[in-house]
Amino acid sequence: MPQYITDIDVSVNEAEQHQLRKHGFTQVHVNLNPEGKGNTIYLWYKTSDCPAITRIQFSFTDKMKEGLVAEGYHKVDKNLNTGNSGSPIYLWFYKGSSQYDVPIVELDLSTDAEADATKVQPLWERLPCDLNRRAGGNWIYLWVKRDTQTYICDINATLNSSSDANLFRQGYIRMDEDTNRDAGGAYVFLWYRQTTDSQKAIKDLQVSTDQESRESYENQNYEKVEINLNEGTLGTPVYLYYKKNECSKDPIKMITLILDPTAVLPYINAGVEVVEKNLNEGNSGFREYLCFN
């Protein structure tokens, strides 16, 4: 029988490390507090032939929790920034059986831009929440490996939490970083859904930051995600466009966000498409780029 990841936990001290090891958990050997600013924190997982974990999410605000609670996601009740001044980050997981759910078989963590880019491989995807968010130090990202290759088949966006539960119920994965980060506007999140059928995949993504580019993409029959990714800020309206019937493009396997400016060149060198249009165009928020493989 195939071995899937069926449980995830977090240790925030040595006693918890001992208990998790005793109960058959495997440690991911990356300290989530590498700068010594808080507790020594590790991620752990267990594999078996039981029903698999298929989705992992993070929360760093109370509003982000609401849809996860409503749809029965399991919360690992350990703050990944325990002992430091960073955002209170919690991991949640779900065992789904819909057509959009594919088992997760391995976890890994990246702690610098070069290592981050080298993880872009078949079956792997990078979750865009920095696990060191607002704590200073390294940018730390969780990577998950799927049992079968997946492709991005649908994309959406939200500017409040009112529709979160509905999107989770429909099989969407929330990209847990605000496209308006530090810009003073609404919390805006991108969402995507996956398929194992490459024929249903999105082939291209583009970002518009002006009227001319919006008209250009619409004239090329791109579909528009209707939410302004700069909603509520003084910045330029920013929209995401996508296309499925693009014969010259390969199906998109992974989509994520880059906030670390040193990661752009390593990602490009690794063959990743980085859309070099700032999602916070015209405001003082974080410079953010969408990228896909």
The CA distance from 20 to 37, in Å, is: 23
Scored b (16 or more CB within 10 A) or e, 17-48 reads beebeeeebeebebbbbeeeebbbbbbbbbbe
Using the predicted structure, report yes or no on whether residue 36 has a pLDDT greater than 70.
no
- The pLDDT of residue 140 is above 70: yes
Compute φ and ψ for 155, nearest 5 degrees.
-140, 145
Q: How confident is the model at residue 1 (pLDDT cuts 50, 70, 90)?
A: low
Average confidence score pLDDT of the chain: 94
How large is the average pLDDT for residues 264-292?
A: 94
Specify the pLDDT at position 88.
Answer: 94
Q: How large is the average pLDDT for residues 201-222?
A: 96
What pLDDT does 63 receive? Answer: 96
**pLDDT tops 90 at residue 149:** yes
* pTM (2 d.p.): 0.96
Confidence of residue 158 (pLDDT cuts 50, 70, 90): very high
Query: pLDDT at position 127, please?
Result: 98
Check whether 35 has a pLDDT greater than 80. Answer: no
**Does residue 189 contact residue 176 with C-beta atoms inside 8 Å?**
yes
For 221-262, how does the pLDDT look when each residue is reduced to its tens digit (9 = 90+)? 999 999 999 998 888 999 999 999 877 789 999 999 999 999
- Classify burial at 89, counting beta carbons within 10 Å of its beta carbon; exposed 0-12, middle 13-18, buried 19 or more: buried
